[in-house]
Amino acid sequence: MFLPDPDKLDLHRLQLMVERIHRGDRFHRGEGQTVARIYLMFGEVEAGDDDGRYLYVAENSMCAKWAARDFLELTWLAFPEMKDLVIFETHDFYPDTIVLPNKQVYRFLSVNNLIAGAGIHMRGYRFDTVFFDVSGEKQRQLDARNTDLVETLSYLQTTGAELV
């Protein structure tokens, strides 16, 4: 198992990282939902569920990139030995897919990319949990244009994904 001995975990460095994420930046949503979802994903890393598949859906592509960056930094801070073991696919120097040594897979997408790719790329994918970090206002804007968002989320739920 890749998880470190709890006695070797640098809690001070982890606390500094938590504070940095809590301070946030202009891309994080102010109500703290983004931070909460990052911690929930990190909890899945700590749980060590082998072969887990997780999808993080953000308001836009920049928010998805920053969430991926913060998630990766938090994971590396808690488990420094994973720095050389984590495999990720990048787009514009930020990971959009992160694979951990125990074969957990984390994908980070904007809501528009989720809708656009639902018919092509997402069919056949299985996700255990979908971390849906999109404001109600953005959802209403998308729903006013078409019903693709509702159909996409319904499809993900039919595959057994839990929406968080």
Q: pLDDT for 97-143, tens place per residue?
A: 888 888 888 888 888 888 877 555 566 677 888 888 887 777 777 77
pLDDT band at 26 (very low <50, low <70, confident <90, very high): very low
In this predicted model, what pLDDT tens digit does every residue of 44-93 receive, in sequence order?
Answer: 777 767 778 888 888 888 888 888 888 888 888 888 888 887 877 776 65
Domains of the chain: which residue ranges?
32-163
Give the tokens for residue 13.
């460095």
**How confident is the model at residue 41, as a pLDDT?**
82
* Burial of 93 (C-beta count, 10 Å sphere; 0-12/13-18/19+): exposed
DSSP assignment of 9-25 equals --HHHHHHHHHHHHH--
Neighbouring CB atoms inside 10 A of 15's CB total 11
Which amino acid, 41? M
